[in-house]
Amino acid sequence: MHLRARVEKDLEELLAQTELTAPVQTWPGADYRYRVIVGADKLPVVFQKLAESIDYDNFKNMIHASPTQQGKYYAYSPVWEIMYQQQQEPEEE
């Protein structure tokens, strides 16, 4: 299974939190440049750690306040705005 990221540090942090040992690979030209390949048997550990890390009530505020994530704030904000606008559209029946 490929765990993919656009920022290498994100995978390094995930590996540290899960205590998995696998190299972060660089795939130049790929949509997600950085990858870690793990066996499917390791995914429950990854998903558990990711679920445990959600302890905030506002994603944008958490990103802005996080030293390792705040650089992504301005990338996430337009995505939030687009999805907010989608929510404002009347639902088709």
Instruction: Please say if the pLDDT value at position 86 is more than 70.
Output: yes
Domains in the chain: boundaries = 1-55, 57-93
pLDDT confidence of residue 43: 96
Instruction: Please say if the pLDDT value at position 74 is more than 80.
Output: yes
Please provide the average confidence, as pLDDT, over all residues in the chain: 93
DSSP annotation string for 14-77: HHHHHT---PPEE-TTSSS-EEEE--GGGHHHHHHHHHHT---S-HHHHHHH-TTTGGGHHHHH
Q: What is the pLDDT of residues 24-62, one digit of tens each?
A: 999 999 999 999 999 999 999 999 999 998 999 998 899
Q: Is 89 helix (H, G, I), strand (E, B) or coil?
A: coil
Q: What is the pTM of this model?
A: 0.80
pLDDT confidence of residue 93: 65
